[in-house]
A = this chain, B = another copy of it.
Amino acid sequence: MRATVPITVNGLKTACSQCNLVELCLPFGMADSELSRLDELVGARRKVKRQQNLYRAGDPFEAIYAIRAGSFKTDVLLEDGREQVTGFQMTGEILGLDGISTETHSCNAVALEDSEVCVIAYDKLEQLSHEIDGLQLQFHKVMSREIVRDHGVMMLLGSMRAEERLAAFLLNMSQRFNARGFSSQEFNLRMTREEIGSYLGLKLETVSRAFSRFQEDGLISVQQKHVLLLDPAGLKKLIQHQQGVR
């Protein structure tokens, strides 16, 4: 069992209008005039240390969270202990949408490194959505994007072979690092082989072997969590032209 309590809430508010993540986050695409009204939306920021939960399955739903710094994984647990990682989230991405439907969170959100989130009280979001036109649309887009992303993961899990899954995963990470101003070729993964495996429906050994295979084939260079994409086009080709199994 991991410690759950020691989570710091710090009072210093951040204005969305002055946040450099604005073009990745909930306010993306909103007019400046609307943007300033958003500043009342973020109640507080909250720090979450590595390995700590932002929330757990079963927790009452009160707020959604925008990642200000760091990264998270979300997962679902079966009674018998099996874990399925349902996603990895980076700065600007929104956590907690699963809680709206039953007013109870249905998955766990765990920080992969020391992180910080903006707490967005859901009732305030609802209320402001009535008033600010662009906010409602943006929020709907965020939820819809999550649904589309989930369909992509189903495609991965249901129809692709191990190496295709890992290739798709690496290209996805690359694209997301790039969108955040980091290199698309070189990055450090924040999750373990086991977590990648859980996400991709594979055992950690299979993930490790696929990494090694890619390196042998000159597609990437890996050392532990450090990844260098030498041939992104090659990875893309692997997904499209490889014979599917299932």
Contact = CB atoms under 8 A, between A and B. Distances in A.
Interface of A: 76, 78-80, 82-86, 97-102, 106-107, 126, 129-130, 133, 136-137, 139-148, 150-155, 157-159, 198-203, 240-241, 244, 246
Q: How many copies does the complex hold?
A: 2
A244 B82 contact: yes
Given A83-B159, A158-B201, A137 B148 contact: no
A193 B77 CA distance: 28
17 contacts: A76-B155, A80-B241, A82-B244, A84-B151, A97-B144, A97-B147, A100-B141, A100-B143, A101-B141, A101-B145, A102-B148, A130-B136, A136-B136, A140-B143, A147-B150, A150-B150, A158-B200
Contacts of A198: 158-159
A16 B142 CA distance: 27
A154 B153 contact: yes
Contacts of A85: 158
Contacts of A203: 246
Contacts of A133: 130
Given A80-B240, A107-B151, A150-B151, A158 B157 contact: yes
B151 A86 contact: yes
Nearest to A96: B144
Given A136-B126, A240-B78, A84 B155 contact: yes
A246 to B, nearest CB: 5
Contacts of A76: 151-152, 154-155
